[in-house]
Amino acid sequence: MNIASRVIHIIIGLLIIAGAVIMMLLPEIGYLVIALVIAVSLLVSGIRSLVYYFSMSRHMVGGRDALYSGLVKVDFAILTLSLSDIPKIFVMLYLVAVFGMTGLLHVLRGLEARKKNAPSWYWRFFSGMIYLMVALFCLIFVKNTVVMVFAYSIGLIFMGAGKVASAFYRSKIVYIQ
């Protein structure tokens, strides 16, 4: 990772942390902000996957995976945007599902890395367990939107701190400029 991408990672991480703090200060409208953040991030990621497919991946082996993941992400973004008009409980259950799936994937990737004797398997496992605990906490307090906003904000702060910390990791690949 070069210096510019490290600075970009740090800025993105700090913006995520700042957004989480703002959501903690305004918990009344926090669930709408949460739905908007999730929808925009899924939409951007889906469009990026689709652009990657149409520019390069369609000529590669296994390139259809980029197409399928892009379509699924765009569909979930549209679903999330449509959830803002329905009762808050559905948005909260959707948020619990997102945290639960993220945590489960991190735990499984950490266990897979442990089998391969990777040195940093515990970080993935630990972050997955935190996401699973946040999902369980959100499931317990699913009817209280203020608690859900705080739980989501804590998850965002954890994610932003991880983004900032990843900017300081040493690169395993030698870059030639």
* Torsion sign over Cα 10, 12, 13, 18: positive
pLDDT in tens, 87-99: 777 777 877 887 8
Higher per-residue confidence, 123 vs 104: 104
Cβ neighbours around 90 below 10 Å, total: 11
Chain-centre distance of CA 68, in angstroms? 19
What SS3 state is found at 39?
helix
The pLDDT value given to residue 107: 92
d(CA 42, CA 69): 10
The pLDDT value given to residue 43: 92
pLDDT in tens, 119-171: 778 888 888 898 888 888 888 887 787 887 888 788 788 888 888 988 887 76
d(CA 171, CA 2): 9
- Sequence ranges of the domains in the chain: 3-165
